[in-house]
Amino acid sequence: MKKILLVTLVLLAGLSIRVAAQNTPIFPKGEIATINNHTGTVWLTELNKPDSIIDIAVANATFAPGAKLDWHIHPAGQILMITDGTGYYQEKGKAIQVVHKGDIVKCAPGIAHWHGASPKSSFTYVAVSTNSAKNKTVWLQRVTDAEYNTVK
């Protein structure tokens, strides 16, 4: 009887460790972003600072539910690798795409777009961009409620 209890406790301990691991972010959430280019709460961590040897910027971004970046352009493009939650991605003139953990989004060079969390889920991605000198983000207008609320 004691043996069964012990085995059960060991199995439960293993299960709770697994559940805890699933809720732990892959990369640190970082600091709350204070730059005026978004609405809602966004956390940012710089994972790789581009330099003359490897000119690739890598950052982790986490959005609270409903938080989103303003419309913007990456002159040399950007890749988003979604690691958690459900979010929105929209290019100018196109419908919002609902994107999930495991999706890869390519933001083509020069295309106005925005990305952020869906209303009821947080959203986390790793953003990768090259050519730092020629790839400074151009910030445009806020995403309006009418634009954000087009997903049924």
Q: Using CB under 5 A, list all residues that contact Mn ion.
A: 78, 107
Nearest residue (CB) to Mn ion, 78 versus 122: 78
Q: How far is the CB of 23 from Mn ion (least distance, A)?
A: 27
Q: Alpha-carbon distance 123 to 135, whole Å? A: 24
Q: How far is the CB of 95 from Mn ion (least distance, A)?
A: 17
Q: Find the distance separating the first CA and the last CA of the chain, reported in whole Å.
A: 54
Nearest residue (CB) to Mn ion, 96 versus 107: 107
Nearest residue (CB) to Mn ion, 86 versus 135: 135
Nearest residue (CB) to Mn ion, 78 versus 118: 78
The SS3 call for residue 146 is helix
The SS3 call for residue 130 is strand
Burial 77-113 (b: 16+ CB within 10 A, else e): bbbbbbbbbbbbbbeeeeebeebeeebebebeeebbb
The residue number whose beta carbon is nearest to Mn ion equals 107
Q: How far is the CB of 72 from Mn ion (least distance, A)?
A: 6
Q: How far is the CB of 29 from Mn ion (least distance, A)?
A: 19
